[in-house]
């Protein structure tokens, strides 16, 4: 159930900001998990009553023909004491991801594409991620606002 809530939150985040996408190149593939792990996340935020989200909004081509940004949702009963702890956990959990779908165009009128990843760490922990095409520019407060919608 937590994984489905994170999926919904990540989707709401992307749909609330995808009007900013202007890139017109069609991606030939999704970023590989190895490339995502190599770059990792560099920020995190906690939405009270929900989950930790870690992200890297610096555009990166990873191993593809187009720039992407990354959001990782940490579905866990664990409590992280700080942003640094959540970033560390997310970067470790990225290796459990498997590509589920994509590249999928989210809205033909704005040129945004996304890829969905999911992974199960154990019975109590899961990780989910989305890569989405750049440029999407948002602050941490905009990220939190998008997750609460």
**pLDDT per residue over 84-94, tens digit each?**
999 999 999 99
3-state secondary structure of 59: strand
**Tokens (6 digits) for 109:** 């009128």
Q: For residue range 124-134, list pLDDT tens digits in order.
A: 778 889 988 86
Q: How far apart are CA 27 and CA 53, in angstroms?
A: 25
92 closest CA partner among 36, 10, 8, 13? 36
| Average pLDDT over all residues of the chain | 78
Q: 60 is in which domain, residue-wise? A: 2-148
Model pLDDT, residue 79: 79
Q: How far apart are CA 51 and CA 39, in angstroms?
A: 22
**Residue 8 clears pLDDT 60, i.e. is over it:** no
Model pLDDT, residue 98: 96
Q: Which of 6-10, 60-64, 125-129, 135-139 has the highest mean pLDDT?
A: 60-64
Q: How far apart are CA 98 and CA 3, in angstroms?
A: 14
Are 23 and 133 in contact by the 8 Å Cβ rule? The answer is yes
74 closest CA partner among 118, 35, 116? 118
Model pLDDT, residue 20: 43
Q: For residue range 42-86, list pLDDT tens digits in order.
A: 999 988 777 889 999 999 999 999 999 999 998 766 778 899 999
Query: Would the pTM of this model clear 0.85, i.e. be above it?
Result: no
Cα–Cα distances in angstroms (integers) from residue 49 to residues 56, 68, 81, 129, in the given order: 22, 29, 15, 19
Specify the number of domains making up the chain.
1
């Amino acid at each position: 159930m937590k994984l489905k809530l994170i999926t919904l939150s990540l989707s709401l985040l992307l749909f609330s900001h995808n009007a900013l996408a202007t890139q017109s190149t069609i991606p030939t593939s999704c970023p590989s998990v190895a490339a995502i792990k190599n770059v990792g996340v560099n920020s995190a935020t906690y939405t009270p009553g929900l989950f930790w989200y870690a992200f890297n909004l610096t555009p990166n081509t990873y191993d593809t023909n187009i720039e992407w940004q990354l959001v990782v949702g940490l579905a866990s009963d664990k409590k992280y004491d700080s942003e640094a702890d959540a970033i560390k956990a997310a970067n470790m959990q990225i290796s459990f991801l498997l590509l589920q779908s994509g590249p999928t165009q989210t809205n033909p009128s704005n040129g945004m594409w996304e890829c969905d990843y999911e992974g199960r760490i154990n019975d109590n922990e899961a990780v989910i991620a989305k890569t989405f095409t750049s440029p999407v520019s948002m602050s941490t407060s905009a990220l939190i606002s998008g997750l609460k919608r």
